[in-house]
Structure 1
Amino acid sequence: MAQPFSIHIDKAVLADLRQRIAATRWPDQIEGANWDYGTNEPYLKELCTYWASAFDWTKQETYLNSFQHFKTTIDESGLHFIHHQGQGKTSIPILLIHGYPDSFVRFLTIIPLLTQADEQGFSFDVVVPSIPGYGFSDRPTEPGMNPKKIASLFADLMDELGYPKFVAHGGDWGSSITENLGLYHADSLLGIHLTDVPSQHALMPVDDPTAAEKKYLQQRQEWMQTEGGYFQIQSTKPQTLAYGLMDSPVGLAGWIVEKFKSWSDNDGEVEDAFTKDELLTNITLYWVTQTIHSAIRIYYEARQDLQQSQHNPLMKLNPFDKTGDKSTVPAAFALFPKDISSPPSEFAERFFTISRWTKLARGGHFTAMEEPELLANDIREFVRSLRQSGRTTITL
């Protein structure tokens, strides 16, 4: 049964963090390199100086605790989640699933936008879990915590909360987990809302691709060659990487902030899209919970699952394995121009039953943080369309 949970980080942990930042042995950087070789050293020094001397974790902790946090145990896995009920006369339950390298903080700004009632008295009951291995959810102690397993845990969580039917939304790993909810728990889904096509589909063979699909798949291959180094190491040797990231806060910050800069809609500066406090609240959560190693292991677990589905003869004959199948649950896509991929609709239609396909004017990978109003409005319009199509009998 879910129990209220409050975030409290011991001052000794924060003091140790500041000491480690001060003791950092910094690398050099080629003059004029900017971000070409990776995280820009002058910016990272600026960010970490602020982290050690001016960043107010107590203020951020108070803000985080202004949301209603809970913990529960599902199938022996401890799950942390935020749960806010809607203020409208009619509220639809919605599960919001984050990705990497963010956390549940991805959705903090959008929660009040969804829980408030619109002019028709319609709102959402919002549930935001931390993926196992992230934040305040338990770190998995056994192999196999892949998106299929996580989808099952989240379906059971929603059922425990009294939501046998709900909408699910996700981006990054959240989109993969949401897809698996649609594949394996379709009876529980009113609809699914995604900001990207899960990346595994670009790694699988495609029969008779269209010209647009060929171009997209070529772009994904090129992206993996130039930007996918993190993906390769996290999906093959995550433990090797973990030693440095667990021991050095500057190393952790450098590993994470580069993605926020590269994957967001900005004018060349990461702080065009995020404040230092936003960046550091997310990074600090990884540090104080000691979860960067358990977080990146999802890449390994997903890769193992995909390889088994593709290459293990027994898995290919398994009638319960739905890898690569098309979900029948109504799906909406909200595509933001500076996200890391731009799939054509016909590629998405191979795997999803699309009822809404929207290209937004601005925003990147971390849409709920960058453009919460645009995302919230698109989610609302999608759920209204479910009512019009007869998917739900709830009056909106």
Structure 2
Amino acid sequence: MRPFTLEVPQSELDDLKARIDMARWPEKEPVDDWSQGTPLAVLQDLVAYWRNDYDWRRCEARLNALGQFMTEIDGLDIHFLHVRSPRADAMPVVMTHGWPGSVIEFMGVIDKLTNPDDPTAPAFHLVLPSLPGYGFSGKPTRTGWGVEKIGRAWGELMARLGYEKWFAQGGDWGSIVTTAIGVQQVPGCIGIHLNMPIARPTEEDLANPSPAELKALGALKHYQDWDSGYSKQQSTRPQTVGYGLVDSPIGQAGWILEKIWAWTDNQGSPWDALSRDQVLDNIMLYWLPRNGASSARLYWESFGSFAAQEIAIPVAVSAFPREVLPTPRKWAERNYRNLLHWGEVERGGHFAAWEQPDAFVRELCLAFGQMSSA
């Protein structure tokens, strides 16, 4: 374990501004919505703020104040935040982000989980790793870093930190890594929480679907028809798309912003759910480490792992209404043989902790509180 301090050279920030100034923009889209992708006017507005008003040093200072570390696992540096609770009864939990997210997703829940205002509420020691090829973690130079291996690496990480028993949580790729932890029964993990459970319908379900099943099937069709092009590219040719993302801040921002719009619980604008600073803090964790290709390679490694799998250890689920691929409880119960908690949340989308931190914290406290008591 070695401490890690972010000190981005000013030359990197100057280079970003120079690239923005030299950008070649396409013409305006011939539609008045997001149906062809990120609208020109929306992206130009965000980039103008990025160029002239955004303060990276604020984000950098926040990350450094939380406590960042590096540790080498199987030849790869893993970057993580380790934020311990002052409470003696705190429970350790490893929380995993996804794409196009980062540890930035958890900034609004860290204080609430480690040091809650209510002394009777559960408290947690938080371990927040950056996926391989994401954030400031190392970039794998050989194949094999799929979700199963990442799940085992997180077990090694928790052991090195001295946690003999711990919980795991995740959404998006974090949900798949956390599922892999449960399926493999990684030593030390005593329960998991998912805000994107994965399950599949049976032929009987399809023959007579309930309203919840019809919603899930409709969302899956929309995803396949209109929302999955990024995943097909990243799971088949991540290197090709990486050239543009690593070279162009405009390209990287547009690539991510479209998914922020599509996957958050908003009324038509991404800024209904998240602020420009929140989104740019996250984009910077792709831009600064040049992660356009390395982050996409996880799709090449593990996109086939988005499949229903049985888990024997305790499982908790929080269902947010604007999840990209909602899963009815009926489907999930077939895979999660020890489902202790199923929470239906009123608001929120794919980025649960980022969008709805208070609801997310309540769900984790309920879920892991029940598991701890059990």
> If the TM-score is normalised by the length of the shorter chain, which range does it land in?
over 0.9
Picking from 296, 302, 324, the partner of 1:340 is: 324
Q: Secondary structure of the equivalent of 2:23?
A: coil
Cα pair distance change 1:305/1:333, threshold 3 Å: closer
Would the alpha carbon gap of residues 79 and 182 (structure 1) be closer, same or farther in structure 2, given more than 3 Å must change?
A: same
Please report the RMSD computed on the Cα atoms of aligned residues, expressed in angstroms. 1.8
SS in structure 2 of the partner of residue 257 of structure 1: helix
Structure 1 match to 2:66? 67
Question: Is residue 359 of structure 2 the alignment partner of residue 374 of structure 1?
Answer: yes
Number of the residue aligned with 1:209: 205
Q: Which residue of 1 aligns with 2:179?
A: 179
Q: CA deviation at 1:89?
A: 2.8
* Aligned residue in 2 for 1:123: 123
Q: How many residues end up aligned between the 2 structures?
A: 368
Letter in 2 for 1:108: M
1:330 equivalent in structure 2: 314
Give CA-to-partner distance per residue, 1:243-278, whole Å, 9 cap, x none. Answer: 111111000000001111111111111111111111
Aligned to 2:95: 96
Q: What's the TM-score, normalizing by structure 2?
A: 0.94
Gaps spanning 5+ residues in structure 1: where?
A: 307-322, 390-396
Q: How does 1:188-267 map to 2 (within 5 A)?
A: 188-198=188-198, 201-202=199-200, 206=202, 208-209=204-205, 211-212=209-210, 215=214, 216-217=216-217, 219-267=219-267
Partner of 1:138: 138
- For residues 219 and 63 of structure 1, do their structure 2 counterparts lie closer, same or farther at Cα, with a shift above 3 Å needed? closer
Who is 1:277 aligned against? 277
Q: Counterparts of 1:370 and 1:223 in 2: how far apart (Å)?
A: 21
Q: Which runs of 5+ in 2 are unaligned?
A: none
- Residue type at the aligned position of 1:356: H
Question: For each residue in 1:300-344, what CA deviation from the matched residue of structure 2 results, as whole angstroms up to 9, or x when unmatched?
Answer: 1013668xxxxxxxxxxxxxxxx7541011111111111212211
**What SS class does the counterpart of residue 90 from structure 1 fall into?**
coil
How far apart, CA to CA, are the structure 2 residues paired with 1:340 and 1:303? 16
Deviations 1:35-84 (A, max 9, x none): 12100100100111111111111222112212110001112121000001
Once the two structures are superposed, residues 174-221 of structure 1 have per-residue CA deviations (whole angstroms, 9 ceiling, x without a partner) of 0000001011135422210010124xx55xx84643524863345413
Per-residue displacement from partner, 1:118-169 (whole Å, max 9, x unpaired)?
Answer: 3227411110000011011100111121110110111110011011210100
Q: Determine helix, strand or coil for the equivalent of 2:316.
A: strand
| TM-score, normalised relative to structure 1 | 0.89
Q: Which moved more, 1:110-119 or 1:130-139?
A: 110-119
- For 1:331, give the aligned amino acid: V
- Which amino acid is the alignment partner of residue 258 of structure 2? E
Give the SS at the match of 1:55: coil
Q: What residue number does 2:17 align with?
A: 18
- 2-side partners of 1:386 and 1:304: how far apart? 30
CA distance in 1, matches of 2:107, 2:122: 20
Q: Which residue of 2 aligns with 1:87?
A: 86
Flag the 1:104–1:340 CA change in 2: closer, same or farther, 3 A: same
Q: What SS does the corresponding residue of 1:72 show, helix, strand or coil?
A: strand
Give the Cα–Cα distance (whole angstroms) in 2 for the partners of residues 56 and 339 of structure 1: 30
Report the secondary structure of 1:375's partner residue.
helix
1:54 maps to a residue whose letter is: D
Distance in 2 (alpha carbons) for counterparts of 1:218 and 1:45: 33
Equivalent position of 1:150 in the other structure: 150
Q: What residue number does 1:314 align with?
A: none
Aligned with 1:260: secondary structure?
Answer: helix
Question: Could you tell me whether the CA contact under 8 Å between 1:44 and 1:254 is conserved in 2?
Answer: yes
Equivalent position SS for 1:357: strand
Q: Does 1:359 align with 2:344?
A: yes
Quick one: distance in 2 between partners of 1:305 and 1:89? 37
- Give the equivalent residue in structure 2 for 1:51: 50
Whether 1:108 aligns to 2:107 is yes
Deviates more, 1:127-136 or 1:344-353: 344-353
Q: Is the 8 A contact 1:78 1:137 kept in 2?
A: yes
1:64-109 CA distance string (max 9 Å, x none): 2121100011121210000011122301001110001010111111
CA contact (8 A) 1:264 1:366 kept: yes
User: 2: distance between equivalents of 1:184 and 1:73?
Assistant: 22
Q: 1:325 to 1:49 in 2, by over 3 A?
A: closer
**Does the Cα contact within 8 Å between 1:83 and 1:126 map onto a contact in 2?**
yes
The 3-state SS of whatever aligns with 1:66 is helix
